[in-house]
Amino acid sequence: MGKKKRKKRQGPRQCDGCTACCDGWVQINVKGYEAWPGHPCPYSTGQGCSDYENRPEVPCRQFICGWLLPDSPLPEWMKPNEAKVMVLFNKLNWQGLPVDVALPVGKRIPPRALNWLKAFAEQHGRPLIWAECIEEDGALQREQLLYAWGPPAFQAQVQQWQAEGRKLW
Ligand code: SF4
Ligand code: SF4
């Protein structure tokens, strides 16, 4: 979640300047408030957290995006607020393979970042799911379009999960 100061101490990267996870680009519940695309946490200032010392353990203190991981394979330029994508590694398992999830920070993931993620998925044999926001009457919707990158059987599986209304992350 967005910080006034560095969130995690294990790695060299810092959240500073990014509040993507506080701003609803990953759907969260903070003290009973639902944050989702276009509906930030009420404590987010867009640059940090106005109640940082009192932020809850879940999700605020525990959440860490893929870019912030100490051993993150994501390049520097893929910081969520800059590359407009938030990656969540290993959110699902499909036939023994880790499945990564990429969420747009904005309506959709820009091509540069999406192409990087597809190449990474292929090189490492990690199926990828990415989301795109749905906009109606100028407002982003809670529901998102999901896309899958991986073997045809994986794509069929994601379609089935969606049809079942399964919560994927
Ligand atoms: S999206 Fe990642 S870098 Fe941005 S505030 Fe959240 S944990 Fe920090
Ligand atoms: S309480 Fe603070 S750290 Fe937690 S989601 Fe809201 S703005 Fe982010």
Domain ranges of the chain: 28-163
- pTM for this model (two decimals): 0.92
Q: Any residues with Cβ below 6 Å from ligand 1, and which?
A: 1-2, 7, 15, 18-21, 64-65, 67-68, 80, 86
Residue 21 has pLDDT above 50, yes or no: yes
**Tens digits of per-residue pLDDT, 109-156?**
999 999 999 999 999 999 999 999 999 999 999 999 999 999 999 999
Residue 10 has pLDDT above 80, yes or no: no
Measure 64 CA to ligand 1 centroid, in angstroms: 7
Q: Which atom of ligand 2 is nearest to the CA of 44?
A: 7
Measure 94 CA to ligand 1 centroid, in angstroms: 26
Closest CA to 2 of 74, 105, 108: 105
